[in-house]
Structure 1
Amino acid sequence: MKIQQKDLFHGAALTQLTEHVSFKALNKADAKYGHYMVNTDRRLMVKLTEKTSAPWTFTFQPDDLNTISSDIASGFRTFIVLVCGKVTICLLSEGDFSQLIDLTSPTAQWIKVEIPKASMRVRGSHGTLKGAITHNSFPDGVF
């Protein structure tokens, strides 16, 4: 099987998850690419960009928003994992991404990640995240 670039970027995130001491299992949540179940109670939506430097912008189509909303409604701890090229991985919790995007929107939403200094600053089509995200928040923040 030919290796696709997107698989390499997803692999960067998934490898860090599987090496974590609290990791037990990783499964596809459904047929959607980048949608995973970790252990038995966590859902991840992994997005990537191959862009080599900040800022990195990620688009969430209405079907992505519906998937995330469904995970939350089903009681899963839900996270968005943004693979920012070969530079960093930005982990957003439900509390974080609810400030950034409107999950009920019928139109696409976006999230932008920047690194003005040592941490990540994140804003989206719905607002700006208060505070910064540290580079080491992933994968620990999932567990």
Structure 2
Amino acid sequence: MKIQDQDWQYGAVLHQIVMHPVFTTINKITEKAGLYLINEETKLLIKCSGDDGPEWTFSFTPEDVEIATGMNGAVALNCGSQSICLLHPTELAAVLDEKATKSQQVRVRFGNNESMRVTGPLGMLGHTIAHNAFPGELLGRVPPKQEPHAWPELGRLSFYQAPPELVFESSHRLLDLASHLGWSIKGDEPITVYMGVSSISHKWPEWNEERLRKIEGLIKDDFAEDGYKVQVQRHTPAVDPHTKKKNRPCSDEFVWKLTIKE
């Protein structure tokens, strides 16, 4: 297969994702040019500009706008391979007219030692975009103040009616449990959900008592903030029946039984 210009332009963006420590997978999910699925759940639309700078122009069709402002993910604007501007759906909605029937343009501008300024038909975005926002913010990097409340790096949260009946899973480090599970609570009747956690991060080598209590504390705090009561019970046996070892590797899923009520 011949290499096309867009392969080089998309490749510059995808290479930075691949080199990031929390990357796991990239998949092409439709025939839409530049649209990818990162880490099995985050959509990324890549747009490229060959301008020389200090301003780069990107064209958005009505289809682009509908995809970019409505998806769980972000848009990466490749500014002539000099930098990549990461925009989330709410940021795009602030500069693009979602009801427009014709193509619109977004402009990114920056000079030496300057953050990126973004402008569209609705005006200038109210804040600048840091050059180092990509790819960390796309892949789950959280602000230092929120790190104590975040789920493990390179982690996966899985939710079951009863294992192995999977309901949904996520790798979002700031996933709000109450908003995803609390809606199904009706009246005084509690619900039971099984929650599995795993991580391939070097910071989470094994499930010792400290790490188990860390997860249990995050679960209780999450529900308490939204006014729910939760009983947390360990479902996974304390000792691995195969290896006879007590501290399982965190790459193996540890499951808790959650009983949740208002």
CA contact (8 A) 1:110 1:125 kept: yes
Name which of 113, 120, 127 aligns with 1:124. 120
Q: CA deviation at 1:41?
A: 1.8
| More relative contact order, 1 or 2 (CA 8 Å, 6+ apart) | 1
> Counterpart in 2 of 1:107?
102
Consecutive unaligned residues in structure 1, runs of 5 or more: none
Question: Which contiguous aligned blocks of 4+ residues in structure 1 show a shift greater than 3 angstroms?
Answer: none
CA distance in 1, matches of 2:18, 2:121: 32
Aligned AA (1:107): K
Q: Which residue of 1 aligns with 2:84?
A: 89
Q: Which residue of 1 is the match for residue 250 of structure 2?
A: none
Q: CA contact under 8 A between 1:52 and 1:86: conserved in structure 2? A: no
Is the deviation greater in 101-110 or in 90-99? 101-110
Larger Rg: 2
Deviations 1:11-42 (A, max 9, x none): 00001011111111111121111011111221
Aligned to 1:137: 133
TM-score w.r.t. length of structure 2 = 0.50
Q: Check conservation: 1:44, 1:81, Cα contact below 8 A.
A: yes
Aligned-pair RMSD on alpha carbons? 1.5
Distance 1:95 1:121 in 2: 15
Question: 1:47: Cα distance to partner?
Answer: 0.4
User: Once the 2 structures are TM-superposed, how far is the Cα of residue 56 of structure 1 from its aligned partner?
Assistant: 0.5
Give 1:93 deviation, angstroms: 1.0
Question: Which residue is equivalent to 1:15?
Answer: 15
Provide the residue aligned with 1:29 in structure 2: 29
Ranges in structure 2 where 5+ consecutive residues have no aligned partner: 140-262
- Report the Cα offset of residue 102 of structure 1: 2.1
Q: How many residues align?
A: 138
Q: 2:5 matched to which residue of 1?
A: 5
Q: Distance in 1 between matches of 2:49 and 2:4?
A: 13
Q: 2:74 aligns with which of 73, 79, 83?
A: 79
Q: Deviations over 1:74-133 (max 9, x none)?
A: xx2x21110000211100012211111122322212110000451111111122111211
Looking at structure 2, the residues matched to 66 and 98 of structure 1 have their Cα atoms a distance apart, in angstroms, of 10
Structure 2 letter corresponding to 1:106: T
What's the % identity of the aligned pairs? 34
